[in-house]
Structure 1
Amino acid sequence: MKKTRPERRQGSAVVRGGLVPDSTYDQRLLEEQRSTDWLHMDPWRVMRIQSEFVEGFGLLAELPRAVTVFGSARTPVDSPDYELGVRIGRGLAEAGYAVITGGGPGCMEAANKGAVEGGGVSVGLGIELPFEQEMNEYVDLGIEFRYFFVRKTMFVKYSCGFVALPGGFGTLDELFEELTLVQTRKVTSFPVVLVGTEFWSGLLDWIRTTLVSTGKISPADVELIQVTDDPEEVVRIMVEADRNNSARLRKEEEAAEDTVAAAE
């Protein structure tokens, strides 16, 4: 049935018609305050933010090992990028990983579809936007967030790797956030894989010739990014990184046990 009224998802709620506000929760949180009303409003916003964290943690805590896949919501279903997304989602699911996306159309839908076809868990973490973007039909577990920073926390906390298909500002935003977290060692053993050598080549050239050459980042930082056109290579990278991380954690646990035993 064709929609005849405007509609907006707000967290777990749906509002339509005249109840659709002119701005989002993020806009109202971040806008410049011109009165002292914020002294009374912001503490209550904290409670809403807290509730989003609690809901997200509760719903995602029992996920199996997961990989986040990002890419453009504008990718056509009949495009090569969409097919790549399906193959990556399917391969990750068959390797035992849940697949997390932003829950929207395009590349996100493709990865969710592949996860379902591969018999895995398909997760969508949506966000309230000024324009409606529905959760795609291949999402098994979907959560709608009001605040971007809460949603971003969920992507990082419940993923052991990040895959970026060709995308726009949203994909770039997530990509550079993950790279910053890895570079500053806020997360460890977190592979970042770009899919589409031709699409990403210009950005990578700029990183090497401008950021590295002017000392803004070190040459070793470029090695944090892996690039491929092969869905099987994406899965191999994730499995290998996961295996190495598990081995590292076991060594750390054994070392801790030996320290305790020696102290006794």
Structure 2
Amino acid sequence: MKEYRKGPVLLRGRNVPTTSTGERLLDEQHRADWLHGDPWRVLRIQSEFVEGFGALAELGPAITVYGSARSLPGSPDYEAGLEVGRLLAEAGYAVITGGGPGCMEAANKGANDAGGTSVGLGIELPFEQGINDYVNLGMIFRYFFVRKTMFVKYAQGFIALPGGFGTLDELFECLTLVQTRTVVRFPIVLFGEAYWGPLVGWLRDTLVADGKIAPHDLDLLHITDDPATAVDLATARHRAGDGAG
């Protein structure tokens, strides 16, 4: 039977909604009744921040690992995620992912199997919902912006495995926060030269060439095909005492 998690509530069968909480929040309002509902949403949003802060405040050093939910077990991306998660745990870092399948599951599994803290921050969605079996500290959020805050606030670095729109969204949000010094200049590592190289080439040949970003902005990104190098790059600033969550 299909099931759906709406915050702490589990819904099944005919109770499964056709829209998510985030979709309803951002839906164009045609009636004035939103004036009565939206102030109450603020309290729900506040509660998600409080719950997230409470769950993660004592996490310790951590690295957020982004990546596709569609990478299959046994694929090169999945295997890389396993190794990255394992190496991070062995280095004393918790692993934070979106808690879903694919690369997220791989990083969580690698960390969990190595005896580390494996964090999954899920999101209420009509599809690709739920927390994988290798998470030992998990939450499901209603709102993307609350979840994104947790990804950044409690991490000392970021590793992006190959992924789709969600990974790109999270990657460029991190880049913007670091470029604007909204957060400490945390390392941002792209795993997979063949996958990410064309994107970095476009940033250089189009954005830098047209003056939309500065040449030194590309220094915020590091690309590697080696899991150990990815972990070393992502944790370097924290190990040097130059980063804080």
TM-score range, shorter chain: over 0.9
Aligned to 1:66: 62
The number of aligned residues is: 244
Q: Which residue of the partner structure matches residue 28 of structure 1?
A: 24
2:136 corresponds in structure 1 to 140
For residues 45 and 248 of structure 1, the distance between their equivalents in structure 2, rounded to whole angstroms, comes to 34
Specify the alignment match of 1:254 in structure 2.
Answer: none
> Following TM superposition, by how much is the alpha carbon of 1:133 offset from its aligned partner in structure 2, in angstroms?
2.2
Pick from 2, 8, 18: which aligns with 1:6? Answer: 2
Specify whether residues 238 and 32 from structure 1 end up closer, same or farther in structure 2 by C-alpha distance, changes over 3 A only. Answer: same
Residue 217 (structure 1) aligned with residue 213 (structure 2): yes
Distance 1:172 1:146 in 2: 20
2:73 to 70, 77, 92: 77
C-alpha contact 2:82 2:107 (8 A) present in aligned 1: yes
Asked whether the 8 Å contact 2:184–2:243 carries over to 1, the reply is no
- Specify the SS of the correspondent of 1:74: coil
Structure 1 gaps of 5+ residues are 250-264
- The match for 2:190 among 177, 191, 194 is 194
Unaligned runs of 5+ in 2: none
TM-score after normalising by structure 1: 0.90
Give the deviation of 1:134 after TM superposition: 2.4
Q: Is the 8 A contact 2:157 2:235 kept in 1?
A: no
TM-score, normalised via structure 2 length: 0.97
Partner of 2:126: 130
Alignment of 1:42-121 (within 5 A): 42-121=38-117
Match of 1:234 among 230, 233, 237: 230
Alpha-carbon distance in structure 2 between the residues aligned to 1:138 and 1:6: 21
**4+ residue runs over 6 A deviation:** none
In structure 2, do the counterparts of structure 1 residues 10 and 248 end up closer, same or farther at CA, with 3 Å as the change threshold? Answer: closer
**Deviation string for 1:179-215 (max 9, x for gaps)?**
0000000011310000000011111111000000111
Structure 1 CA distance for aligned equivalents of residues 160 and 128 of structure 2: 23
Aligned 8 A contact 2:187 2:235 in 1: no
The 2-side partners of 1:234 and 1:14 are apart by 38
- Equivalent residue number for residue 256 of structure 1: none
Q: Is the CA contact 1:122–1:140 (under 8 Å) kept in the aligned structure 2?
A: yes
Query: Match for 1:103: what amino acid?
Result: G
Are residues 1:166 and 2:162 paired?
yes
Q: Does 1:183 align with 2:179?
A: yes
Two-structure CA RMSD over aligned residues (Å): 1.2
Partners of 1:81 and 1:58 in 2: how far apart?
A: 32
Mapped to 2, the partners of 1:194 and 1:156 lie a distance apart of: 16
CA contact (8 A) 2:190 2:222 kept: yes
User: How much has 1:247 moved relative to structure 2?
Assistant: 5.1
Give % identity. Answer: 64
